[in-house]
């Protein structure tokens, strides 16, 4: 196995190991999937912290409007009425009017807090210091755990326009964002997560390590 220490600007990100028989392209693709998975988990955790305080998102048509303005529009959102947290909820107005203020009860908030803390710990850079390797399976298991937490608290699921649900369904809009690492044919952002030089060095290291581990002729 080849063991790699993934960094960004000399800052540790995670540890990764892969078979010496894996091609450089497959190795790079796996690293990108894990890297982007960590970013997705962080985005979901940030939004779950807001969900815990202010409830589900308003429909895009009414985000930022006050109650009087919404009434004047005569806008009715069935998702907003039906997507309520299990148990009683309290009204806690979102100061930026992005979420509907239907705060889950204390028990449900604790469940969210625990899930978020566990997810953050699994992808923490401290795992590098502990010598713990990150895998695609761990990323997916963490996403499944977070989604299970949401379904426990919101049995009817979140509205389809809530960014948390969009993240789970891979429908999030990252246009104009650099919050991902891309291996497709799409041109990279102006400030890519990993520079071309860093990619070359990483692949060169993997190749050299692979050559070192090859059996030598007797």
Residues near 76 by beta carbon (within 8 Å), at least 6 away in sequence: none
**β-bridge partners, 16:** 4
Q: How far is CA 142 from CA 114, 115, 167, in A?
A: 13, 9, 13
For the chain, give the number of residues.
218
Question: Please, which residues have CB within 8 angstroms of residue 8's CB and are 6 or more apart in sequence?
Answer: 193, 194
- The confidence band for 186, taking pLDDT boundaries of 50, 70 and 90, is very low
pLDDT digits (tens, 9 = 90+) for 88-107: 899 999 999 999 999 999 99
11-54 pLDDT, tens digit each? 889 888 878 788 888 888 888 999 999 999 999 999 999 999 99
Which pTM value belongs to this model? 0.76
Answer whether residue 208 shows pLDDT above 70: no
CB 108 within 8 A of CB 153: yes
- Least confident range of 101-115, 168-182, 183-197: 183-197
Q: How far is CA 23 from the centre of its chain?
A: 27
The more confident residue out of 77 and 160 is 160
E strand intervals along 55-206: 89-91, 102-104
Chain centre to alpha carbon of residue 40: 2
The pLDDT of residue 102: 95
């Amino acid at each position: 196995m080849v063991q790699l220490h993934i960094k960004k600007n000399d800052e540790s990100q995670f540890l990764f190991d892969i078979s010496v028989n894996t091609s450089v392209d497959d190795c790079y693709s796996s690293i990108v999937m894990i890297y982007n998975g960590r970013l997705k988990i962080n985005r979901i955790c940030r939004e779950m912290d807001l969900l815990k305080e202010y409830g589900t998102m308003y429909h895009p048509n009414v985000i930022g409007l006050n109650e009087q303005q919404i009434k004047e529009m005569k806008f009715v959102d069935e998702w907003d009425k039906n997507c309520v947290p299990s148990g009683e909820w309290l009204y806690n107005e979102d100061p930026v009017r992005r979420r509907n203020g239907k705060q889950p009860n204390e028990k449900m908030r604790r469940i969210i807090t625990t899930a978020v803390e566990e997810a953050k710990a699994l992808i923490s850079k401290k795992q590098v210091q502990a010598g713990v390797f990150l895998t695609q399976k761990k990323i997916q298991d963490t996403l499944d755990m977070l989604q299970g937490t949401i379904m426990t608290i919101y049995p009817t699921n979140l509205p389809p326009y809530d960014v948390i649900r969009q993240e789970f369904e891979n429908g999030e809009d990252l246009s104009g964002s650099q919050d991902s690492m891309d291996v497709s044919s799409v041109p990279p952002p102006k400030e890519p997560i990993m520079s071309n030089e860093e990619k070359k060095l990483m692949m060169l290291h993997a190749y050299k390590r692979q050559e070192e581990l090859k059996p030598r002729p007797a």
